[in-house]
Amino acid sequence: MLFEADDEQAYIKSVKLEMDEMFAGINKSNIYFVKKSVRKILKITNKFIKYSGKKTTEVELLIHFCFKLKVYDDMIVKSLAMQNMYSRQIQKIKTTIKSLHEDLQFDYANELNPLL
């Protein structure tokens, strides 16, 4: 974070790459392991969001998280905990988008539509 403090886009890109690696390493043999891994990824993502402190970074990282989680759609349907986790993140994105500028609201709302 210290080295990327002046370039927010590079920071977002590096966090997204790290999230991609973590999602690729999920043990898919049991839904328990998937839930546990997804919770860990979300915890780490929220830590990176807090380091940044910018609303646009929060929206971009959470949208990326939800797109990656959407791949496990069959497991989301089977697990109420996964459904709740997904819906909470969507709601969090919506509330954060409302606090942004109108132009950004429109752009991020268009990105969010495929997730709904």
Mean pLDDT of 19-35: 92
Give the 3-state secondary structure of residue 116.
coil
What phi, psi does 53 have (nearest 5°)? 80, 10
Query: What mean pLDDT value characterizes the chain?
Result: 89
- In eight-state DSSP terms, residue 33 is H
- SS3 label, residue 53: coil
Q: Please give the structure tokens belonging to residue 71.
A: 């791949």
Average pLDDT of 36-63? 93
pLDDT at 4: 59
